[in-house]
Structure 1
Amino acid sequence: MTEDADERLAVAESAAKAGSEVAGRSFKQGIEVETKSEKTDVVTEADRATQRRVIEVIRDEYPEDAIVGEEEDELKEVPDEGDAWVIDPIDGTNNYVRSIPVWTTSVAAVRDGEPIAAVNDCPALGDSFVAGPDGVRRDDESVTVSDRTDPETFTVAPTFWWGFDRRDEYSAMCRELVERFADIRRFGSAQVTLGMVAAGSLEGTVTNVDPNPWDTVAGVHMVRQAGGTVTDLHGDPWRHDSESLVASNGEAHDELVEATKRVE
């Protein structure tokens, strides 16, 4: 199992790097932007081209595996059985199209619904987060979650975005977090945010919005492999089909859960 996970991690690294190179060529180049379901739900040809490149690298080694991807006609749910790959070609497209460097190409290898290897490559930031059987690396340096224990020193992040008909929930989330913790951030990329929790830059991140697997699976694996805790807003272990997400360094996790529950 470990040997196979190592092999899949190597492919995930190659695929994420190849994809981010494609995305990087169009970054800050005034690329045409399209909208999907909402005005803030945007996509570019770079998203589609990046996903195709990631899949090409994976298919060279694992031609029969299922592919879950945000764009085009790939699967939209993670199968509970067998080997699969979960891809977000550009997580943080709203940042990408505004020339903000907080975006990543995300690739996770999954077996029977559980991640076994994950990579978030962030070329504009100069960072690469890698999670395998032996822990988590950022730029080839081993990292772990923050060791802070006092919530009044925590920096946490509300993540994902609330539609126009749910902005009151975003306001409520911010209120709950600023009343309980030292500071908040919002980066516009769930995968980068989860990587920051895994690397100890943040103590936690939360959402009561239903997350997509391509926005979460890789980063969740990173947080857990780095020693953190990831649940839903009820405190149950997070799965790829959970309807909320609470990730933390494991300290004061219950308080993050309570903050998220109060928004509901």
Structure 2
Amino acid sequence: MAIHVQPASIENLRELAIQCAREAGKLSLLRMSQPYTVEYKTSASDLVTAVDKEVEKRVIEMILAKYPEHGVLGEESTFQGDPHQFETLWIIDPIDGTTNFVHQQINFSVSIAVYQKGQGVIGVVYDPSRDELFYAVKGEGAYLNGRKLKLDRQVKLEEALLCTSVFWNKRAEQIGIDRIVKQLAGKVRGMRLLGSAALELSYVAAGRLDGYVSMSLNAWDFAAGRLIVEEAGGIVTKINGQPLPYDEKSSIMACNQAFYEELKHYLRKSEGLNFN
């Protein structure tokens, strides 16, 4: 029997992405109150739980039930097939901030993005612990629970509240960017670390943070948040200012465009080094 393929309109994609994010958040909160297993990936600080895998599997089922011709790139690699063979690619992180999920039970999020031919068209980040839904549609703006987000505040670098994870990144230590960011911390208004890249990017879009700098993020960490920041009027690139890839590991710098050039210039103290 032939499979009936529904047209993937932007509106349909947005509604499904939001539905998947809310379902994933609901499931993660439910499982949080029940016993679950915690495993190490690469180290004691790199965790994965049975909940991560279950949530990702549920989201993939929801996507393929409606769009069997789409591909999925997910953190837990539960999708069967080569994601890069698909014109429409969903990039998902079922629980971004697993360590927070395990220890704090706040500051974690669901990240779901839709890319078509390498271009981001939908980005959704859902914080189930606070019931906050950030989303963006390419060319249509970014929103938080239906309220449009717009980064129009004129802020100087010394007035900025930044967020970074480079102090805990071995690659950052190897190339010396951690020392530069430490100096930067003394120049700006303050530094924060939430432990969920998707949430931190969403906070930049909402103006709760003015900028975010990180090393070695995977595509599922930034795919949705990137579009949300851009649609809110911010700028997102690699730390050295080069374009951000959509499907591979990269450094990232996202901020209010009012001080983007100033921040990039400051970080160029380590120009010539590989920021991937």
What is the TM-score normalised by the length of structure 2?
A: 0.86
Query: Percent of aligned positions with the same letter in both sequences?
Result: 28
Match in the other structure for 1:141:
147
How big is each residue's C-alpha offset from its partner over 1:110-134, in whole Å with a ceiling of 9 and x where there is no partner? 1111110011111102211011141
2:216 is the alignment partner of 1:210: yes
Cα distance per residue 1:77-99 (max 9 Å; x no partner): 96386111000000000100002
Q: Which residue of 2 aligns with 1:4?
A: 9
* DSSP 3-state at the match of 1:251: helix
Query: Does residue 1:85 correspond to 2:114, yes or no?
Result: no
- Of residues 128, 137, 152 in structure 2, which corresponds to 1:132? 137
CA-to-aligned-CA distance 1:195-240 (integer Å, 9 cap, x gap): 0011111111012x22201000100000001111011122122222
> Which residue in 2 is equivalent to 1:221?
227
**Once the 2 structures are TM-superposed, how far is the Cα of residue 76 of structure 1 from its aligned partner?**
10
Q: Which amino acid aligns with 1:14?
A: Q
Question: How far apart are residue 150 of structure 1 and its match?
Answer: 1.7
Which residue in 1 is equivalent to 2:240?
234
Report the 3-state secondary structure (helix = DSSP H, G, I; strand = E; otherwise coil) of the residue aligned with 2:168: coil
Which amino acid letter does the alignment assign opposite residue 206 of structure 1? V
Distance 1:75 1:191, change over 3 A: farther
Q: Tell me the equivalent position of 1:175.
A: 182
2:269 equivalent in structure 1: 262
- 229-238 or 109-118: which moved more? 229-238
Q: Which is further off, 68-77 or 82-91?
A: 68-77
**Deviation of 1:252 (Å):** 1.3
Q: Is the 8 A contact 1:34 1:44 kept in 2?
A: yes
**Cα-Cα RMSD:** 2.4
Count of residues in correspondence between the two structures: 261
What residue is the counterpart of 1:157 in the other structure?
Answer: 163
Are 2:238 and 2:244, in contact at CA under 8 Å, matched by a contact in 1?
yes
Larger radius of gyration: 2
2:208 is matched with which residue: 197, 201, 210?
A: 201
Code of the aligned partner of 1:198 = A
Kept in 1: contact 2:218–2:250 (CA 8 A): no
Structure 2 spans left out of the alignment, 5+ residues:
1-7
1:186 aligned onto 2:180: no
Distance 1:23 1:141 in 2: 25
5+ long unaligned stretches in structure 1 = none
Aligned to 2:251: 244
Write the letter of the residue equivalent to 1:34. Answer: E
